Homo-oligomer: A and B are copies of this chain.
Amino acid sequence: MRNEVDPSAAIAPQIYRLLRQAIVTLEYLPGQRLSEQEIGARFGVSRQPVREAFIKLSEAGLVRILPQRGTFVVRISMRDVANARFVREAVEVAVATTACSVAPPEALDRLNELIALQREAAANDDQRLFLRYDEAFHRTLAEAVECASAWPFIEDVKAQMDRVRYLSLPAASPMSRLIDQHAEIVRAIAQRDARRAGDAMRLHLREILNSLPRLAAAHPDLFEDDELPAHAREAANATSGRDVAPA
């Protein structure tokens, strides 16, 4: 997070991006206190833009602002992650099924391009790059159904999940598996099979539920002491039989 800010552009959004990245990549750990003063000094800006960044972070659920006490990185909450996942699944499944009706062929080409780039990143074992292409894939799909203005909402929701993904990087769901799921989604859309496209997206976005409880148990210091809500247990059960590794 040593990037300098560009004083010719608006500062507050830059600070927000940098802090969000630092929190999501666990450079800032849960429980850590963030000081407006200190962050401002580090980047050579005043407290005001830092404060505005804090407000956005709190709306994304990454920090908790306690007036007159301090601003703290929140611990990862299985409940919040599951709820974010629920919203994201709802929206992106709708995007995938709608894409079957309205996505132009060029969009499918772009998606296949991104899948090829993902395979390349996987071949080089570059997980960071893979995550970038993964995000681009989902954003491109949203744009394909003319829902570009809906993507910012997904992006806000995603923050909760991204922190878990970075935490699971060393032993994440293998990239090849996720890429195959992407390919299946695009295939279903190309064949205009709405049900299959939705199911494929649903399965894809439920991957995180496989690792979440295990990660929470392995890192009790990083997690809030809460449980999965009922809808997440439902969702996990619905897919648990389908995606076990072959013996």
* Residues in chain A within 8 A of chain B (CB atoms): 10, 52, 55, 59, 61, 67, 79-80, 83-84, 86-87, 89-91, 93-95, 98, 101-102, 145-147, 149-150, 152-153, 156-157, 229-231, 234
Contact = CB atoms under 8 A, between A and B. Distances in A.
A102 B149 contact: no
A89 B94 contact: yes
Contacts of A10: 67
Integer count of this chain's copies in the complex = 2
Contact of A234 (B59, B102, B231): B102
A61 B149 contact: yes
A225 to B, nearest CB: 17
Contact of A83 (B55, B61, B89, B147): B147
Given A86-B147, A86-B150, A147-B86, A234 B98 contact: yes
A91 B101 contact: no
Decide if the interface of chain A is mainly helix, strand, loop or mixed. helix
Nearest to A148: B83
13 contacts: A86-B94, A86-B98, A87-B91, A87-B153, A90-B90, A90-B93, A90-B95, A91-B91, A98-B231, A101-B231, A102-B231, A147-B231, A153-B157
B146 A87 contact: no
Contacts of A156: 153
B145 A79 contact: no
Contacts of A95: 90
A231 B145 contact: yes
Given A84-B149, A145-B229, 4 more contacts: A84-B150, A101-B234, A145-B230, A145-B231
Interchain residue pairs A-B with the least CB separation, the first 5: A90-B94, A146-B229, A102-B230, A90-B90, A90-B91
Contact of A149 (B79, B93, B153): B79
A83 B149 contact: yes
Contacts of A145: 229-231
A69 to B, nearest CB: 14
A203 B55 CA distance: 36
Contacts of A52: 52, 55
Contacts of A146: 79, 83, 229-231
